[in-house]
Amino acid sequence: MAITGKKPRQPMPLRDLAERKTTFQEVALGYTAEQAIEEAERCIQCKKPRCVPGCPVAIDIPRFVGLVAKGKFLEAYEVIKETNALPAVCGRVCPQEEQCEGVCVLAIKGEPVAVGRLERFVADYAAREGKIELPPKAEPTGKKVGIIGAGPSGLTCAGELAKRGHTVTVFEALQRPGGVLVY
């Protein structure tokens, strides 16, 4: 299939209103594989993409979106994981409309590629396929670090430090980790 920015942006499927009244499950259901491919095909693969510098963690957005367009979802997940420790979280709560999507060339005359929705899809797909794995750890450094707060930032920091071989203890005042995503 040809990659083009002329296709309409794929809407996010939503949970039925009647069901929403009876559950605390997410309202946005996420893309199907077909919708993700259709949305990814909208990316025009800019020679000088503005979306990458617009991303706080510098995800190679054109590369991951191009893989989604080809149906290579697990490969796309690996691209995201190169710089983002929590893609399922960021795909849901990152303000993409002000960052990567906000500077997308397609946004000049229409709607940008739904980068956040694609990131969420890829992360959810990897989880459903059982492909979420702990990264390899470096040799122990003997250093100990305490992290205050088990929200997304604290967990990301703890994960990065643990990958580098440090012993990390996370302190959380509430009963469960997750911060605003849980509470």
pLDDT at 3 over 70: no
Q: What is the pLDDT of residues 130-139, one digit of tens each?
A: 988 877 778 9
pLDDT digits (tens, 9 = 90+) for 76-112: 999 999 998 889 888 888 888 899 999 999 988 889 9
Torsion angle in degrees (nearest 10) through CA of 124, 126, 131, 136: -90
Q: Is the pTM higher than 0.85?
A: no
Alpha helices by DSSP H, 6-50: 17-20, 33-40
With bands split at pLDDT 50, 70 and 90, how would you rate the model's confidence at 176?
Answer: confident
pLDDT tens, position by position, 27-86: 889 999 999 999 999 999 999 999 999 998 999 999 999 999 999 999 999 999 999 888
Residue 123 confidence (pLDDT) above 90: yes
Distance CA 94, CA 98 (A): 9
pLDDT for residue 78? 95
